[in-house]
Chain A
Amino acid sequence: MVNLKTRQIMLVVLAALFPGMIALSYFYGIEYWLNFAFAIVIGGCVEALCLKLQKRPLTPALTDASTPVTCLLLCCALPPGTGLWIIAIGVTVAVGLAKHLYGGLGNNLFNPAMVGYAVVLVSFPKQLALWPIPLDGTTAATALTSFKYRLGATVDEIWVIDQGFGSFGGYGWEWINLCFLIGGVLLVALRIAQWRVPAAMLVSLAILALIGYDNGSSGSLGSPMFHLFTGSTMVVALFIATDPVTHPVTHRGQLLFGCLVGCLTFAIRVYGNYPDGAAFAILLANSATPYLDKRLVPARG
């Protein structure tokens, strides 16, 4: 009974991911679907192996469609040309370590997809930094990376130097983020994801970007629109931060959690070594979730 419900929810999440995936493959090539398919197959194998080792029945866990969601979210964070072996490592860590070591769906403390992504990011930073120029074929840094290592160029100059950056989020990325936003709004409208975490995250990210924005000088940190519609902002806000197991249960806790993710994402993008900080922001906020739950329960949010 419960399982059927999980399965329905996960199928809706899969459907909501579709617009974003289509946008990704439109800009970065149809071979993105090979990554998706490969990740799902490996994820299924790892899950089956974990269940088998624990002598647990295969069917309920394998058919609840939660592993494909994890695998797809992980793949969306990886560039299309990522070696299949990197994807395999990421998926194995996500499903085997972050999910099944904790006892499977509903028991994990950290978002599995983000654990998998963080592990491959710190292990293979070079391979994961290269995104192809959309509809082109050669590889280049993403808008976020260009912002970080621009050697004193102003925002307008970056936009001129890196042809085809689009108008505000980096070419392609604004559409990809918009598509994820559409899917995410659907989830929120269907009450599968609650609105507090993504709202708090996006608002705090936008406010910080607004404070840091100085109309595009060489020291500019990027406009609020840039931060909202570039990199992994929307997919993290609406699909990953909203993972009901790893965010707090109280309303106040969820608002705080969202703010924490937004602030940390901005801080890591601007001050950290990694161009996009959303994955680390999620893991850090996940570490704080039990504490937030513990401290905020008597207050009844």
Chain B
Amino acid sequence: MTDLALILIGSLLVNNFVLAQFLGLCPFMGVTRDYDAALAMGFATAFVLTLSASLSHLAYHGLLVPLGLTYLNIIVFIVIIASAVQLTELFLRSVSPLLHTALGIYLPLITTNCAVLGVALTSLGQSLSFLETVVFSIGAAVGFTLVLVLFAALRERLEGASVPQSFRGAPITLVSAGIMSLAFMGFAGFAD
């Protein structure tokens, strides 16, 4: 139980995939311009991330290892991720067409979100059990969504700040992301 809690805190805060491992920076910069889009993107990615990491674990240990095809892991994982994204897209299109349009290109781009493949590969590298992989990916998913939402709110505040001309837009956004990442360094040591 303690182990699972440590894994959760580890992937959620200490090794946060965005702010500590710098994966998934494209959606972190891309969709946080709008708060609602960031929230939706966060949940969509969280869903895909948890589903694909769990399925990847099953596929790796159930299929690739017995067949001796472990060198195919990246290709198989990408196929799983792409299918999970398709599933999410179909679901979103039928449930909320408006949100589907708002997310636009970013939705299919979840496939190329390196955090999603990163979680699947990292949990593999740490040789976690299935349950541990699920907990690990939930932590990563919640951590991703949390950071995305906090950062989107932060950027909204930035719009109102009288930032010097030369630092408006991307520069000040990156500086803020850096300071947030610095703040997350405070969690170092939590999961030891």
Contact of B190 with A by CB under 8 A: yes
Asked if A290 and B153 sit within 8 Å, CB to CB, the answer is: yes
Closest to B182 in A: A118
Name the B residues within 8 Å of A301 (CB-CB): none
Contact of B186 with A by CB under 8 A: yes
Interface size class of B (residues with CB under 8 A): 20 to 34
Closest to B14 in A: A272
**Of listed A54, A119, A294, residue having the most chain B CB within 10 A:** A294
Asked if B162 and A103 sit within 8 Å, CB to CB, the answer is: yes
Contact of A110 with B by CB under 8 A: yes
CB contact list, B135-192 vs A, under 8 A = 149-151, 153-154, 156-158, 161-164, 167, 172, 175-176, 179-180, 182-190
CA distance A97 to B176 in the complex (A): 10
Contact of B35 with A by CB under 8 A: yes
Asked if A101 and B153 sit within 8 Å, CB to CB, the answer is: no
**Closest Cβ–Cβ distance, residue B133 to chain A (whole Å):** 24
Name the A residues within 8 Å of B180 (CB-CB): 283, 287
- The residue that A286 contacts in the complex, of B149, B183, B187, with Cβ under 8 A, is B183
Asked if A103 and B164 sit within 8 Å, CB to CB, the answer is: yes
Closest to A272 in B: B189
Given that A101-B164, A109-B158 are known contacts, is A291 also in contact with B186, CB under 8 Å in the complex?
no
Asked if B161 and A272 sit within 8 Å, CB to CB, the answer is: no
Name the A residues within 8 Å of B158 (CB-CB): 102, 109
CA distance A132 to B154 in the complex (A): 39
Contact of A288 with B by CB under 8 A: yes
CA distance A289 to B157 in the complex (A): 10
Contact of A115 with B by CB under 8 A: yes
CA distance A268 to B13 in the complex (A): 12
Asked if A102 and B172 sit within 8 Å, CB to CB, the answer is: yes
15 A–B contact pairs at CB < 8 A?
A: A54-B164, A109-B157, A122-B185, A264-B186, A268-B186, A268-B187, A272-B188, A274-B188, A283-B180, A284-B183, A287-B154, A290-B150, A291-B154, A293-B153, A294-B153
Residues of B whose CB lies within 8 Å of any CB of A are 35, 149-151, 153-154, 156-158, 161-164, 167, 172, 175-176, 179-180, 182-190
